[in-house]
């Protein structure tokens, strides 16, 4: 399970480097899923939205929506493992 961000499929103005790294994780995950599928290895990528952590403390939510709690992201990761 790789973790990227919604920015990996939808770039946000002013976050070029961040978006580029997340696009990279998405591309890596897709390539790995294709390459390893024949060996029974499953690869997935979780794309959490803006997440309420100390990293975003003091910032304002933009048009991408309200931040989610880390527990929501964790549940998505656990769901990907099931």
Find out whether 64 and 47 touch, Cβ atoms under 8 Å.
no
Question: What is the set of active-site residues?
Answer: 18
Token readout for 20 is: 């580029």
Return the SS3 of 9: coil
Q: Which runs of E-coded beta strand occur in 1-82?
A: 2-3, 45-46
CB atoms within 10 A of CB 26: 17
Q: Quote the pLDDT of residue 50.
A: 84
For 9-50, what is each residue's pLDDT tens digit? 988 788 899 899 999 999 999 999 999 999 999 999 999 988
Separation between Cα atoms, residue 9 and residue 46, nearest integer Å: 11
């Amino acid at each position: 399970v790789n973790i990227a961000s919604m920015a990996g499929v939808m770039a946000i103005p002013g976050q070029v480097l961040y978006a580029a790294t997340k696009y990279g994780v998405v591309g890596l995950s897709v390539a790995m899923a294709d390459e390893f599928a024949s060996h029974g290895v499953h690869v997935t990528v979780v794309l959490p939205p803006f997440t309420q952590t100390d990293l975003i403390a003091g910032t304002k939510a933009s048009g991408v929506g309200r931040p989610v709690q880390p527990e929501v992201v964790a549940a998505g990761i656990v769901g990907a493992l099931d």
